[in-house]
Structure 1
Amino acid sequence: MSNQAHTLERRVEEVQHYYGGTLTDKEDLATNVCTVDEPPSETIKAILAQIHEDVQMRFYGCGAPFPPLLEGATVLDLGCGGGRDCFVLSSLVGEQGKVIGVDATAEQIAFAQDYVEHHREVFGYAKSNVQFLQGKIEALDKLGIAPESVDVIVSNCVINLSMTKADVLAGMAKLLKPGGEIYFADIYADRRLAPELKNDPLIVGECIGDALYFEDFVRLARAAGFLDVRITAKALKTIANPAIEAKLGGAKLYSITLRLFKMDLEDRCEDYGQVAIYKGNLPEAPDRFVLDNGHAFDTGRAVSVCRNTADMIRKSRYRTLFDVIGEGRRHYGLFQCGAQQIEFTPALADAGVCGPSGCGC
């Protein structure tokens, strides 16, 4: 075994020990890094009320990676731990959907498996739609999941634990269907952390030691083919442990939720004269749809968009939520992204842009 392979194997064993032995529930955490800052939506709050209390106590996530429009979807959860997010997703995808949870720690998988039948009964399903697999997120091709068979991949404060994040991204790209989405929360730093932090099992287990400088993650994502990384939520983390905080040398940590799409996008926002109009037909968002921190669409309002944004909403499962005007054949230079709003006027209607009631109004 090479030195690199030995180091990777040792790291996996340390993480498995931390999450399978050291931590028995979230009260054992040494910091506040693996805690959720963003409040759940009313939909998620209602589902969480149905999740078994023991499962909720084994939850160590830092976000709420539950994108909309999951009914009937196949969703893969990387680093599923005790299964909390998988059981939430089980409700969101419905009985005809499918949820696959993957974790490297045998104790976590065994724990989650014990609650499959409980949640099947809670949700009133004839057959459970949740499957748990033990395996490494760096080796997704070893799990027997068919390539391009997954609609959405989620993860909650886990990818930072991997020493080979490029392998994780490459594996996700292979499993996603064209137009599929990665929607995940993780911990990032505002600078490159001291290398010696990677050798402290406690700091690594607390999702700090291997946390990437955010710009370095963007570079990895682009190398894997995800050229346009979108932020949907960002929160500064408090460490709540002076000894560990002192080792960070002033670095700040953030929990950031990102969405990436598997499609042919450009590495810059380019202007092709396109306009998007949100129909308001997502039940949980009747007035406004938020694609990311820079792109919000009020119902019935025409919004100029770059071609990447146009493709994200017209070539993904969100296509049913929007009217996109413009074929994107003529280029007008760089686009200043930020969801510039356009008031709908009769002049826009004359130009072929649809209003709140559709074209021709």
Structure 2
Amino acid sequence: MSRYARQIVLPEVGAAGQERLRAAHALVVGAGGLGVPVLTYLAGAGVGRITVVDPDRVERGNLHRQTIYGEASLGRPKAEAAAAVLADLNPEVAVTPLVARLDPGNADGLVAGADVVLDCADSFAASYMLSDTCLAAGRPFLTASALGLGGYAGGFCGGAPSLRAVFPDLPERAASCATAGVLGPVVGLLGALQAQMALGLLLGIAPSPLGQMVSFEAPGLRFSGFRFDAAPEPERALRFLAPAEITGDDFLVDLRGPDEAPVPVAPHARRMAVETILDGPLPAPGQRAVLACRSGLRAWAAARRLERVWTGPILLVAMGDPQPA
């Protein structure tokens, strides 16, 4: 137990708490800037099983904030590279890497086996998918987002309101680290905060981080936050669909242009833009409207337009970036 001596002496941990950590299973979606501190602190603390999910590979432009990787890791799947680092950091922890994109087709199975779910993907599509799944399964869901010089972390589901209760809709436009930039320490701080929330949950430290939102702004080094324990769930929610779940009977719209996606999501897909979604025919009675784009943002915006004239089911598909062979 010498590995954990500095935390076992804490009254909030002790030998019983350390055993709870050893018996716990954490699902971490994303092994990038947020995932790196989450994975290292959970493994270092002795969380017994960690499943890490990430479809991407290590890139040089991300090394400034994904600090467990180096030049030797370039081109390697992040999930596998992270698992190798964690095996050296703490061989007592069983780490399962999954080189795959999270989607509604695999979310249920992944969440069902976890005691706590950490969203480190910095993708709103993944965040809402995980929140929906955790709410249904009763699992605690910890998510964070970092951009530029600030960001937030929060605890949802598991008895607390879901992400949709606090953020029922999306902004018209969303930036990313690639387009807006981010400082490495900002991401590291928020990832460390996620890890602390996870350890607090697993150890039963009060007050619970579930129902709590914490924001950080690097200019001025300001923290702020609020509780949302009584936030109501929205009556109608736009759900995500896995690409494999699209059928030939769906009213399918691909919102990506031919330059972005030369091959449409399916042969029967209509090519349309958000602004023209109402210019063509509407879905037939009883038909599902399925709207696809890269990130899900355009699909969300098009769905809000379609809802004005269509009361049938509307589902969103986030196709993501093409993955290298």
Please confirm whether the aligned pair reaches a TM-score higher than 0.5, indicating the same fold. Answer: no
TM-score by length of 1: 0.28
TM-score, L = length of structure 2: 0.30
